[in-house]
Amino acid sequence: MKGWHIWKFVLTNSYWHSETITLKPRSRGFHLITDEIHSALPQVAELQVGLLHLWLQHTSAALTINENADPSVRTDLEAWFNHTVEEDTPYFTHTFEGSDDMPAHIKSSLLGCEVTIPVADGRLQLGTWQGIILAEHRNQGGSRRIVATLQGKA
1 domain-assigned: no
45 domain-assigned: yes
DSSP state of 90: T
38 domain-assigned: yes
Bridge partners (DSSP) listed for residue 56: 146
pLDDT tens series, the chain, 154 aa: 566 555 555 556 799 999 999 999 999 999 999 999 999 999 999 999 999 999 999 999 999 999 999 999 999 999 999 999 999 999 999 999 999 999 999 999 999 999 999 999 999 999 999 999 999 999 999 999 999 999 999 9
As for how many domains the chain has, the answer is 1
9 domain-assigned: no
49 domain-assigned: yes
Distance of alpha carbon 85 from alpha carbon 5, whole angstroms: 54
Bridge partners (DSSP) listed for residue 66: 131
B/e letters for 67-106, b = 16+ CB within 10 Å, e = fewer, are: bbeeeebbeebbeebbeebeeeeeebeeeeeeebbbbbbb
- What's the CATH code of the domain at 85? 2.60.120.460
Judge if pTM exceeds 0.85.
yes
